[in-house]
Amino acid sequence: MKNLFHIKVIHWLIPLFFLTANLQIISGQKDAVKVSPIPEDINKTFQTSCYGCHGPNGKLLPMTKLNFSKWTEYDAVKGAEKAANICTELAEEAMPPKSKRKSNPELIPTKEQILQICKWAASLKPKE
């Protein structure tokens, strides 16, 4: 009789354990720290210089690397990495691409705008 009781208890405890573990995983995902929204002044620069390829109506290949439409879906770490990459690409004049720079020089952010973006990107870096 005692063994039967233990089997019944175990029979109920196992599903309860998995349910509890799944709830912890789900709540952990829910509680993940999201990236901060892009400040309006920086977003204006992105709209002018980047959204043509990386915005809501962007092109497929550029959107796989950076999609501003999904910015709010990034967690803080991924957002910080994306922001750091944006800073690097702009500072090295890799973005906008040379072909766009030549035909549309108005897309090129100013040095002040790039500095502002890089300062913003640095502020997103998670504290260790």
Q: For every one of its 128 residues, what pLDDT tens digit does the chain have, with 9 covering 90 and above?
A: 555 544 554 444 444 444 444 434 444 444 578 999 999 999 999 999 999 999 999 988 999 999 999 999 999 999 999 999 999 999 999 999 999 999 999 999 999 999 999 999 999 988 86
- What pLDDT was estimated at residue 43? 97
- Helices 111-124 and 76-91, interaxial angle, to 10°? 160
Identify residue 104 by its one-letter amino acid code: N
d(CA 61, CA 65): 7
Domain ranges of the chain: 1-31, 40-124
DSSP track, 16-27: HHHHHHHHHHHH
Contacts of 33 (CB under 8 A, 6+ apart): 75, 76
- Confirm if 55 and 47 have CB atoms less than 8 A apart: yes
